Structure 1
């Protein structure tokens, strides 16, 4: 398996909300005759309580200090995975688009930097339908950004966000998520294909159910010959606490108890199989592996 990294460009202007400057960077691995590339959609800017509030604070702070992570604010990268096998050009998730957060939504520029136009994307495969993963299917004019693509989503995830009762049950702080998701699902209703856990979604791409962050969250095993990697979306949503203490509930998960069980099982598998992982919110392009420690795991970035 070959890995390269290259930083194509960086913005030179300040962003609102004092957001970190997004790097339109790429990290590549080869899987047999296929190539997997992460492309940046910028980053999020979130209050620390969104993730950390439910955790034991006396144990949390040393972990954050060791990772150089502030307790008050987090600015996770948004890394979309691009899979090219010579026939299909598959994008996992669609980014945040222009209307979610000023520090995110850089995917169109990142694709251009990678030498791709939106029309080159043959499939958009969703891990889940949170804003930073699906709102980017619509451009500034409300039109589909990827007009030639087939959109693919797990059946359970689609059913959850399509349900008119979701906006009433998801909680006031996430009600906008439900409204925005339903709007995007309506836009792709005539171009969507569904799949279930364990199915081969496309050649060499297998769906792996990883619920908890959302009810129907999916990860994907990419396999070409003897090479494999796992696109994990937000099943493991940060590189510090989620690895060091996977049993701690996170406020970013819609079902924290289910998400804990999923995260622990996924980390067990990733470490046991020494499987390359690709995380949406993990640093430096999100590609690395999980290494077991005495008390949990740690995220090991791929060497440059």
Structure 2
């Protein structure tokens, strides 16, 4: 039976900035329009966190039963390591996704925007079919695109919309930036796993691009938000302070550029997520108070 510490590690805490950052940025954009609502923002945060924990457990379960995680280099995989039985991890995934659905339903009731139910259903389906089902899209190279969409435009603009009833150009810029960061986090993970994914027949975007192409794309995704910061700063000058996140980004950029492989890339996930989180905190504050 897995310990509490192993269940926490299995939830992949390093990915939580992917869930927190878009809600912060979206709330900052809503506040800039004078429409901050702490209840709706809190529910959006619960939905986002529950979704990412759910997709992480679902990924652990699906990859584990397929045998993809048998030779995994990165953090603990509950099923692949034998720490937990597949039904237990499946139950954890379903529980987290169900919790996200309940919080999302509460948000829909508050806003009375019933069409958001379809968005929520798409998010849950995206979480499951990333590595679940007979033809998981994560095995076909579409994982980064899905992460960009769901934890970028969907999460950021959704957070803004449920509070303000509309979106702004600032929210759109933030959504692209956060989506780019999120995709970079997954790409770094898949860069590390190119050898084992290739052996397991998992054709991720990194496998398709190859080592060199993946490193170039990662650096591009990491740089894009800082270019967007300059655009955002043209109308909201305090947002320019977000370039401070480049200090954190320098570490993973150097590691990826150096050709590091295997375990040496594990810290890249953490530091890319921290870069995204710092950027979002500063931008949210700039939009809210600038």
Query: With structure 1 as the length reference, what TM-score do the two structures score?
Result: 0.36
Structure with more of its chain in helix, by fraction: 2
Q: Greater RCO between the two (CA within 8 Å, min separation 6)?
A: 2
Structure with more of its chain in strand, by fraction: 1
Query: With structure 2 as the length reference, what TM-score do the two structures score?
Result: 0.38
